[in-house]
Structure 1
Amino acid sequence: MTKLNLMIIDPQNDFCETPKNEYLFNKTSPALPIVGSNNDMKRLGSFIKKNIKTISNIIITLDSHYRMDIAHTCFWKTGDNDVDPFTIVTSDDIVKKTIIPRTKDNKKQIIKYLEYIEKSEKKGLTIWPVHCEIGTWGNNINNHIQISQRTWEDTNSKRTNIILKGLDPLREQFSVLSRDNRKNIKCINEKLIKHLDKCDILLIAGESSSHCVKETIEDLIYNSKRKNLENIMILTDCMSPVNGYEEDTRKFLSDMEGIGVTITNSIDIMKILK
């Protein structure tokens, strides 16, 4: 049987719908729950357990933010109030003072960053609820994945490669394979891409399919030297889009399939590889 490499993007509590009993136990709730995510993680956890000896390596990325992060609601204010989640902030908003950062430092740098974002065909910076705050329950790995991951580690005497992203409070970062530095230059994680290129079969799952999964895969595809793109396999039943971004996800998956990436699921993948 072919050895599999599994990359799980942001399988974190803040992105996952919380079952009622878990909510009562933790006395907290996810900041940005994605519809279908709990079942995504349940299926993925089951897949790991069923293929405990077949999976040779696991990489998990964790979205990890400080509370005062440029993409969080509490970073900004309009009048005396925080901005609403999913507000689009532009450089013009700051210049006109309709929306301004609460911090008094780095205002010019923030404007330049938003101008940089706007040049990349984005309307502006999307503002999210405070999520995946470092040290909180929401930053932790979802229980379905955590249990199966630990079982995989104990069975194979290996460790999961856990990679944090999003640590710069003045820069948004969806993809673990790229980040914008303070000079507004996109930096590619070439070392990790080379490592992923060496994986014979690379399975990718996680949350959300419309943002962090999408941008990570795009960075991998467009910076990879891999010729056999069919060996990159996206498990569509182990990911879901942020509400309102379903069409973006459909187009992304269609584009990936068009260039040769394998679009499959946690059941059919094993039929493909037999």
Structure 2
Amino acid sequence: MNPQTITQLPIPTYFEPEGVGKVWRVPYQERAAQASDWAKKYNIKPAVEDRTRICLLLVDVQNTFCIPGFELFVSGQSGTGAVDDNRRLCEFIYRNLDAISAIAPTLDTHTAMQIFHPVFWVNEAEEHPIPAATNITPADIKQGIWKVNPDVAYSLGREYSALQNHALHYVQQLSQHGKYPLTVWPYHSMLGGIGHALVSAVEEAVFFHCIARSSQTEFQIKGNNPLTENYSVLSPEVLEDANGRPIAQKNRRLIQQLLDFDAVIIAGQAKSHCVGWTIDDLLTAIQQTNLSLTQKVYLLEDCTSPVVIPGVVDYTQQADAAFKRFAAAGMHIVKSTESIIQKVKNE
């Protein structure tokens, strides 16, 4: 492809950077009219006309992870990680509105009775584990330190003994396949709750893109299976129960959709967990197809942060190591301020 110069668009005047860390209602009708006018003013064509098709995959850019004071705010080491990431992300979307063909936001989606939430577990004193500070290992279950809460079996439609067997099998599978140990997290991304929603400023930018480019936003639901974690949007942590029967499936449709694009740009939260494992699963799919496809993947490193809970856990090292591995495999580690679209279209 011949080199070409890509001119970035301006940022709409309604965008308020200081509002990225807050929750508010997006004025859809007003933004729709502005997006249509914006497309006419800057000669922005419908996405269907794109010769180079670019997908922006946004992993779990939700209030629960991105707004200070919410359940699992991803602070990173700076203390303001996700807020700063999303400010840059919004600016990236607006500046490259005419080049991004499709936006696919993932939505971590939970109810209370799931294997990683406190109510699922009890100890001998009938106490639930302390969230974020408790990892459950095979030894914990074998020794009776933690067991499945008998009271959740009915609501999940399972016999208690089968559920307890699954719990042991589950944590063993995590250990055997090099996954993070089962962490009991605070209740988060609760379906129907404010935490489940996209960050308002990001939702606004995504909606603006949808109207300006006539490109339906491709929302991806993940994480609603009560018997497995689902950090990656492409695959749950464990696929089969103790008897080899499937409990969940890979998102093969999305995997194929991503591989069909000319480029995939990835951002979101958290770098150490849902972003990292999504990229890892995409890399696995690429390795099973054509390793050269790694060249079409771009990771917005300044639009993602690792999980850091001061005095409890810090996953910065694991996140950085994973990104180095992704780069070594051929993926591009970039910043949102770089001429990424220029690079994509000139390759």
TM-score (normalizing by structure 2): 0.72
Amino acid at match of 1:262: H
Structure 2: gaps spanning 5 or more residues: 1-5, 7-51, 76-80, 154-159, 309-313
CA contact (8 A) 1:90 1:123 kept: no
Question: What SS class does the counterpart of residue 178 from structure 1 fall into?
Answer: coil
Deviations 1:146-184 (A, max 9, x none): 010111111112210001111111111111111233436
Question: Which residue identity is paired with 1:177?
Answer: L
CA contact under 8 A between 2:259 and 2:293: conserved in structure 1? no
Alpha-carbon displacement from aligned partner over 1:99-137 (angstroms, at most 9, x marks no partner): 122235211222222222222234731111111011101
Q: Distance in 2 between matches of 1:70 and 1:127?
A: 8
Instruction: Report the CA distance shift for 1:3/1:124 in structure 2 as closer, same or farther (over 3 A).
Output: closer
Is 1:235 the counterpart of 2:285? The answer is no
CA contact (8 A) 1:204 1:235 kept: yes
For the pair 1:96 / 2:120, whether they are aligned, the reply is: no
Matched residue pairs, number? 264
CA apart distance, 1:94 = 2.2
Partner of 2:36: none
- Larger strand share, 1 or 2: 1
Identity %: 30
Query: Match of 2:72?
Result: 32
Could you tell me whether the CA contact under 8 Å between 1:88 and 1:123 is conserved in 2?
Answer: no
Q: Which structure: larger Rg? A: 2
User: How far did 1:17 drift?
Assistant: 3.1
Which sits farther off after the overlay, 62-71 or 95-104?
95-104
Q: Which amino acid aligns with 1:16?
A: C
Q: Distance in 2 between matches of 1:124 and 1:250?
A: 19
Which structure 2 residues correspond to residues 1-274 of structure 1 after superposition, within 5 A?
2-18=52-68, 29-35=69-75, 36-78=81-123, 79-86=125-132, 87-102=134-149, 103-104=152-153, 105=160, 106-122=163-179, 124-179=181-236, 180-183=238-241, 187-224=249-286, 225-226=289-290, 227-243=292-308, 244-268=314-338, 269-270=340-341, 272-273=343-344
RMSD: 1.9
Distance 1:13 1:260 in 2: 32
Give, as a single letter, the amino acid of the residue that structure 1 aligns with 2:195. Answer: G
Unaligned runs of 5+ in 1: 19-28
